[in-house]
Every structure is written in structure tokens, then in C-alpha cells.
Amino acid sequence: MIRFLLLRNVPRKAAEQQQPERVLLRFPRLYEIFKDIKVMVCYVAVLFFFISVSAFGAQELDCDREVPDDLYELKENHIPVEFHHEPFSMEIVDLGMLVLLMSVATWFSIKHKPSSWLSFLMLAGLLYFGFFRGGCICPVGATTNFCIGLAAPELIGRVVAILFLLPLLFAYFAGRVFCSSGCPLGALQHLLARKKSVQLPARINSVVRLLPIALLFATAWGALRGGLFIACKMDVYKWLFFTGYAWIDQLMLWVKGALVESRIIFVGDVVAWTVLGCVLVLGYFVPRPFCRLVCPYGVLLGTVSTLGLRNREIDPSACMNCKMCEKKCPVQAIHSDPTGKLVSVSDFHCIQCGRCDDVCRKSGLRG
Ligand code: SF4
Ligand code: SF4
């Protein structure tokens, strides 16, 4: 009897001892967010982003309707007008392609499939969205368009809004799978980077990670105040995509037997291509420089992913602390504690590329 009572008391005592933890576990995601000051800054930044966008929109933007023309102007200046045909049916195909790529990427990521499988998806996304559709979907352009749309919904199409929101929806349920499947910018950087990448020193990394947040504000401000596509102008890869777009259109015209321009088209000037060349060389050594230093959409994806349902974690019972995953992670999303023990994966930064799964011999990554 005494033994029975003692045994009954053990779980209750244990439960009483664990009481403070249970309080924290009631709000595990909030605890995670406010535990890490950098993630908290991002979270607050995104909150301010949406509030300021709405506020600016309400006051300032009875928009002179030239806002979206900036993008058209940009394209028209650089792509011959006969290459501009974007019928509604193509936008539906875009949506279908995006959903397909992100769904397959979600499945690969949840099942922890080898990263080479995701590379095929990235290649498909790059060829379709990058070269065939001329850089559409462009995550930075989508951010600008959406800012305008919040203030003046009639200025953007419904499909543009869906294209912007869909990757965020996937981020909530599965993490940033858009970055490892549908984003042409991400795919280009990922596929051209060497496997043995250079990791930035922790201090520098934590400072440069704040740049996209600043750019998110600048993008919102620029879009709402002057119809400026600030982040778009920083997208150095667009010249490559525009050129691919123009070439594929020429090829299709040639196949149909229609008239083609005889000259070879390179969209963009010498300066643009020199900058592009430098960024590609940088990206060969330091993976995903645009994603990590510039992309404002990545801030939104990261925040939604942090608040979302799926979390990539390190299983402490399996991990032997070899740190191979930390070395392979292209966005430095895996963190150690002060004693050097690997403890966490940042859902904010993790792009679900699966490279950590490739190198872990103990299947130590879950989620
Ligand atoms: S961070 Fe931005 S540019 Fe990079 S893959 Fe994600 S959405 Fe694309
Ligand atoms: S933790 Fe790093 S290596 Fe692993 S899936 Fe995320 S981004 Fe890729």
C-alpha cells in the first residue's frame, strides 16, 4: 500500500516540479520568439511593416495611378514590346506551377529527402519562372506590388495578391519551401554556389541579417510614396532573366516560322552585367548573398515560418555534435549554445534545403 502511494505521488511531484515549464510550454512559439532578441526584432519589424503600410496607404496614396507603370516601364525599356504577352491564362499556369513546386518541396522536406531532389525542383522553378517567365515570380517585385495593393487594391490584380500570399501560407504550414523550390532568384544562387561554402563570422552575420529588414521598410516606403521599386532595382539577376525571356520568345517565334529579330539580345548595359558577374562570383563562395543581404520577402517568409506549425529541430538524443550540419547549412541557420553544443535550427532563416539531412549520419534532424 505504502509503495502504491509512493508510486502515485511520483508523477504528481514531478508535475509540480515542472510547473514553471508547463507555463512556458503553453505559449511555446511566443517563448521562442521573445527568447531570441534578433527574431524578436524581425517580428516587431514585420508588425510595423504592415501597420505602416496600411497607415501610409490610408493617408498618402490616393495613388497617382502611375505606380505599377514603373515595372512596366522597366520592362519596356529593356525588352522589345513584341515580347510582352502575359494573358490571364498564363497567370493561372504560374499559380498552378507554383503550387505544384511548393507542394512537392513540402513533401521532400517533411520526408527529409536528399537535397539533390530539391535541386531538380529548383532547376524547374528557375527555368520556368526565371527564364520562361522573365523573372516572374519575383519576390521583391511581389512585395512592392502587395504594398501598393494594401493601399489601393484596384491597382494590382487578384493573381498578383495570391502569388504574394501563397508562399506565406506554405511557410506557415511547412516553412520556407518557396525559397527551395519556386523562387527563381533563390534557385539561381543555390545552384551556382559551390558545395563547400564560406561561412560568415557570427558577428558579421548577425549584423548583415538586419539589412533585409531595413530594405523591407524601404520597399514599403518607396512603393507607397513614389511608386519606386527600390528592392527591384537591387535585384541584379533580373538582367539574366529578362535576357532568357527574350531569347526563349525569339526561339518560339522562330519555331512558329514568324519574323524574328536578327540581332542577339542582351538586356541591360555593361554596368548591369558587370555587377551581375561580381554578385555571381560572390555567390559562388558565400551562398545566397541576395537572400541573406537583400530580400525583403525573406523577412516576411521567415517571420511567418517562425510563427508557423512546422519546426525543424535537432534531436538531442541522436545528435553526436559533429557539427557537419552547421558547416553545410547555406544560410547559417543552425546555432550552438555557448558551450559549443548544437541546440537549435532557426525557423526564421531555414530555407528547407535539406543539406543538413544529407550530412547527418544519425538522422538527428526532425520536423
Ligand atoms: S530569400 Fe528571397 S530571394 Fe531568397 S529564395 Fe527566399 S524569396 Fe527568393
Ligand atoms: S537548417 Fe540549413 S541546411 Fe538544414 S534545411 Fe534549413 S537551411 Fe537547409
Read off the pLDDT of residues 184-205 as tens digits, 9 standing for 90 and up: 999 999 999 988 888 899 889 8
Q: Has residue 57 been placed in a domain?
A: yes
Which runs of E-coded beta strand occur in the chain? 313-314, 334-336, 342-345, 365-366
What is the DSSP code (8-state) at residue 128?
A: I
Confidence label for 63 from pLDDT (cuts 50, 70 and 90)? very low
Tell me the pLDDT tens digit for each residue of 224-278.
Answer: 666 566 767 778 898 898 888 888 878 887 888 776 665 667 788 888 899 999 9
Tell me the pLDDT tens digit for each residue of 81-111.
Answer: 444 456 778 888 999 999 999 999 999 999 9
Residue 174: per-residue pLDDT = 95
Q: 129 CB less than 6 Å from ligand 1?
A: no
Residue 367: per-residue pLDDT = 80
Q: Between these two residues, 174 and 55, which has the higher pLDDT value?
A: 174
Residue 221: per-residue pLDDT = 78
Q: Has residue 365 been placed in a domain?
A: no
Distance 352 CA to ligand 2 centre (A): 5
CB atoms within 10 A of CB 244: 20
Q: Has residue 292 been placed in a domain?
A: yes
Closest atom of ligand 2 to CA, residue 331 = 7
CA distance 153 to 113: 40
CA distance 168 to 162: 10
Residue 20: per-residue pLDDT = 41
Which residue's CA is the closest to the ligand 1 atom numbered 6?
179
pTM of the model: 0.79
Residue 312 φ then ψ, to 5°:
-85, 130
Confidence label for 143 from pLDDT (cuts 50, 70 and 90)? confident
Residue 75: per-residue pLDDT = 45
Confidence label for 26 from pLDDT (cuts 50, 70 and 90)? very low
**What is the Cα gyration radius of the chain?**
23
Distance 81 CA to ligand 1 centre (A): 28
Domain with 288, as residue range(s), is 38-313
Residue 6: per-residue pLDDT = 38
Q: Has residue 80 been placed in a domain?
A: yes
Confidence label for 121 from pLDDT (cuts 50, 70 and 90)? very high
The CA–CA distances, whole Å, from 355 to 116, 121, 173, 298, 332 equal: 9, 15, 20, 19, 11
CA distance 358 to 328: 9
Which residue's CA is the closest to the ligand 2 atom numbered 6?
350
The Cα angle at residue 165 between residues 163 and 167, in degrees rounded to 5? 80
Q: Has residue 320 been placed in a domain?
A: no
Q: Has residue 11 been placed in a domain?
A: no
Q: Has residue 192 been placed in a domain?
A: yes
Q: 186 CB less than 6 Å from ligand 1?
A: yes
Q: Find the residues whose C-beta lies inside 6 A of ligand 2.
A: 312, 328-329, 331, 333-334, 345, 350-356
Residue 22: per-residue pLDDT = 39
Per-residue pLDDT for 13 more than 80?
A: no
Tell me the three cell numbers of residue 128.
Answer: 520556368
Q: Has residue 54 been placed in a domain?
A: yes
3-state secondary structure 13-68: HHHHHCHHHHHHHHCHHHHHHHHCHHHHHHHHHHHHHHHHHHHHHHHHCCCCCCCC
Residue 99: per-residue pLDDT = 96
Closest atom of ligand 1 to CA, residue 176 = 6
Residue 15: per-residue pLDDT = 40
Q: How many domains does the chain have?
A: 1
Q: Between these two residues, 48 and 309, which has the higher pLDDT value?
A: 309
Per-residue pLDDT for 179 more than 90?
A: yes
